[in-house]
Amino acid sequence: MTAVPASHVLIVDDDHRIRAMLARFLTDHGLKVSQAGDGQAMFALCETARIDVIVLDIMMPGEDGLSLCRRMRAQSSVPIILLTAMGGDTDRIIGLEIGADDYVVKPFNPRELLARIRAVTRRLGAASINERPVATIYAFGGWQLNSSRRTLTSPAGALTDLTSGEFNLLLAFLEHPQHVLTRDHLLDLAHGRMSESYDRSIDVQISRLRRKIEADPQDPAFIKTIRNEGYFFAGTVTRLQDAFVRRQA
């Protein structure tokens, strides 16, 4: 069996001591690690190397992590985990709204960060398996979601940008249509969190999804809210194609 390449993590933090400590820890646990001290170095590395996960500090001099996250999300769906010294809801919600996939509050145990990185890479299919189903295409209301290419095509044939969190959430709905899903269930299906769930992140991402796929986000035809229970995907879902591909080295 051909070995699967290690996931490549980019740590972006202006504090070189934190970068070095995290780099040593993650490397010791089998990950490939690159480091950047600012946004310019981050974008330069992303242009020259395949990055699987970005660990991005919010509180940096100059352009802060939220601004960098927004810019990165405009051009790439690479998963982003924010490091924040703010424990309040507002900072976390802003990060999720602009496209971050997860967050870790400082001070934190490096093992928590490792667990979240592994959860993100599992969601993207980076687990060490040799063969897995990857080419299911889900059709609903003229839309098509391709689970292999991780693309969403509109009824007009245009590609619609999704963050990895939005993609995983929509895929969870399409795999469980006509069923009421609680926030905790959606967190398990779409996020695979390793610690205490933060259920408002689901509300934020559903709001973003509705703006992208609903004709009227205020009166959604697909993703319905079931009061005091959760959410319900009301559209008819058809699986157009299934295939298996063998992971390449």
Give CA 27 to chain center in angstroms: 22
- Counted residue by residue, the chain has a size of 249
Task: Tell whether pTM > 0.85.
Answer: no
- Residue 102 CB contacts under 8 Å (≥ 6 apart), including other chains: 79, 81, 82, 116, 119, 120, 191, 193
- pLDDT reported for residue 248: 37
Q: Where are the beta strands (DSSP E) in the chain?
A: 8-12, 32-36, 53-57, 80-84, 102-105, 131-133, 137-140, 143-146, 151-153, 159-160, 180-181, 223-226, 230-233, 238-241, 244-246
- pLDDT reported for residue 28: 94
- pLDDT reported for residue 231: 94
Q: What does the block give as tokens for 149?
A: 């290419």
CA separation for the pair 98, 106 (Å, rounded): 20
- pLDDT reported for residue 245: 37
- pLDDT reported for residue 198: 46
* Averages of pLDDT over each 10 residues, the chain, 249 residues: 68 93 94 93 88 91 88 83 75 76 86 90 53 66 86 91 84 90 79 44 87 94 92 90 41
- pLDDT reported for residue 85: 77
Q: Domains of the chain by range and CATH?
A: 8-123 (3.40.50.2300), 132-246 (1.10.10.10)
